[in-house]
Amino acid sequence: MGKPVISLDQVVIRFAGDSGDGMQLTGDRFTMDTASLGNDLSTLPNYPAEIRAPQGTLPGVSSFQLHFADHLIQTPGDAPDILVAMNPAALKANIRDLRRGATIILDSDEFTTRNLTKVGYTTNPLEDDSLDSYKVHAVALTSLTVAALSNLSLSRKEAERSKNMFALGLLSWMYHRPVEATENFLRAKFAKKPEILAANLLAYKTGWNYGETTEDFAVSYEIAPAKMPPGRYRNVSGNVALAYGLVAASQQSGLKLFLGSYPITPASDILHELSKHKKFGVITFQAEDEIAAIGSALGASYGGSLGVTSTSGPGVALKGEMIGLGVMLELPLIIIDVQRGGPSTGLPTKTEQADLLQAMFGRNGESPVAVIAPSTPKDCFEMALEAVRIATTYRVPVFLLSDGYIANGSEPWRIPEVSSLPDLTVEFAKSQEDFQPYLRDPKTLARPWAIPGTEGIEHRIGGVEKADVTGEISYDPANHDYMVRTRAAKVAGIKVPDLLVDDPTGDADVLLLGWGSTYGPIAAAVEQLRGNGEKIAQAHLRYINPFPKNLGTVLESYSKVIVPEMNLGQLAMLLRSQFLKDVIGYNMVRGLPFTTAEIVQATMEVLHD
């Protein structure tokens, strides 16, 4: 008789181990198999900054969390239901996040005296009572994997590297994940390494069979597909969605896409992904530094292409002068900032929202730019299109503020129909007599986009102030005042949608207002609060400069406005200064996203103050 199968509506799994244990690959494969079954999902990769931290130490722990369900979910989950710990360091680093009664699957072979001492355990948690609050499955992952691969011509060390596939096979059995996709993935990945391919396939199948035959696992689980609007779906991360959005915008605008970029965590995947799409006319340039990267992008815009540069906060610091040149030249330019923990190198593999003021003001002089921010991984696609619309329509640099949580996290994305994409067609200046390079469109205040080499539209460029209309060099004080105010008015006049407010009863007194990746935790918290009978409104800003026209009215409609941010209150500062609204900041800078419980607790304190 087969083992009993228990139906669940959702589960949160975290794979954790040494940075060399393949936890990101394991989590990613489990996610792909989960997506193929139609579950809604959200992921949270978490890994150290070092390429290889000392083995078995706390700084070297890498983890991948996946929340999947038979209904719509908003976050990767607050607390894992299942922790797969490949060594004592992984257990110690993650056990504080577990709820009582959670399941722990660990590699008992790694709980040696040496490994335990390395992370500060004075006794073996498998032998004392410290894990009594959890359901513990001590599985000899390493020795079982080595034994399964004993007939292959691999050293013990080489065989041990496949233990992550054993764990993946076991979890795939537990949650009825399909095996064909992972097997095909392994065949493609190791096609030129037959011994490694055989080892991974055998370890994966052995893990599956272990779950099926061992008495240690008495039941398996199933989660039904989520009910989603009909369409074609794929799993997508924020960085990949951004890349796809830029390619789509290039096609819709008729402009050749040029990315000038210098590799930097966590933005490098945008460069990697776009480099795969040469068939769409995409040009990628890996520059020698951040200044060269943005210089090449601005040069591409001057030449009539869609100029884009991608980076993180430290790179933005280096790009400041060239962004100012883009403001002065009034050319389209897109700066993607995938925010990470700072300052300086800070926490390069962790998430943060602390570059907002840098994007707004981090340049010399009055240098206004547009600033927008996606709210989820899949929203990166739409906001990439919006960045291109704004940049090409108004001839301005546009900051697109993503962050490490959005960039590396993933979720199901319904692939849009091409017919639904916006028309982003651009018109260049045509050959003409008496061409005036700074004669503006009265609706947008945009100057003509004049492509070099076009007969009759020769004009001066450079960083020195331009004369109104003619574009000649001008040191006239009145002209400088006029041009500064005109550039500011152009950004302030950018048309963006009104802010949508979710207030079902219409009589809430408290508004939760977020931006960027706080969307998921805020939405989940609001759902929980309303389920408890609380009246709470929710809104989310995707357009920050300029703000939506109705934002002031929205803020005045609520007696209290709570603004959760992964910084020390940067959006709150902007709201207070512009709207004179004493918003309530809720701030954390831990390198991790908010949990739903944290926002619920902070909101309850305000509701019942």
Domains of the chain (ranges, CATH numbers): 5-223 (3.40.920.10), 234-420 (3.40.50.970), 501-607 (3.40.50.920)
| pLDDT > 70? residue 155 | yes
Q: Residue 284 corresponds to which tokens in the numbers above?
A: 């990628």
pLDDT at 412 over 80: yes
Task: Summarize pLDDT for 224-282 with one digit per residue, the tens.
Answer: 999 999 999 999 999 999 999 999 999 999 999 999 999 999 999 999 999 999 999 99
Give the predicted TM-score (pTM) of the model.
0.95
Q: Residues 291, 296, 297, 303: what is their CA dihedral angle, to the nearest 10 degrees?
A: 150
The model's confidence at residue 54, banded by pLDDT at 50, 70 and 90, is: confident
> Taking residues 31-38, what's their average pLDDT?
96
- Residue 273's contacts (CB-CB under 8 Å, 6 or more residues apart) are 239, 240, 243, 244
Cα distance between residue 248 and residue 381, in whole Å: 9
Q: 585: how many CB neighbours lie within 10 A of its CB?
A: 18
Q: Is the dihedral of CA 466, 468, 469, 475 positive or negative?
A: negative
Element (H, E) at 146: helix 141-148
- The pLDDT tens digits for 454-510 are 999 999 899 999 999 999 999 999 999 999 999 999 999 999 999 999 999 999 999
User: Which whole number is the average pLDDT over 72-92?
Assistant: 97
| Cβ 224 vs Cβ 7: under 8 Å | yes
The 10s digit of each residue's pLDDT in 363-382 is 999 999 999 999 999 999 99
With cut-offs at 50, 70 and 90, classify the pLDDT of residue 1: low
pLDDT digits (tens, 9 = 90+) for 111-122: 999 999 999 999
How distant, in Å, are the alpha carbons of 75, 359, 411, 524 from that of 10? Answer: 12, 38, 15, 14
What is the spatial distance between Cα 471 and Cα 89, in angstroms, rounded to a whole number? 63
Nearest-angstrom CA–CA distance, 146 and 202: 11
State the Rg of the chain over Cα.
27
Q: Is the pLDDT of residue 524 over 90?
A: yes
Per cent of the chain over pLDDT 70 is 100
For the cut 70, the answer to whether the pLDDT of residue 389 exceeds it is yes
In the prediction, which pLDDT does 418 show?
96
d(CA 386, CA 381): 9
Residue 276 corresponds to which tokens in the numbers above?
């795969």
The tens digit of pLDDT for each residue in 574-593 reads 999 999 999 999 999 999 99
Confidence of residue 19 (pLDDT cuts 50, 70, 90): confident
Which tens digit of pLDDT belongs to each residue from 99-148?
999 999 999 999 999 999 999 999 999 999 999 999 999 999 999 999 99
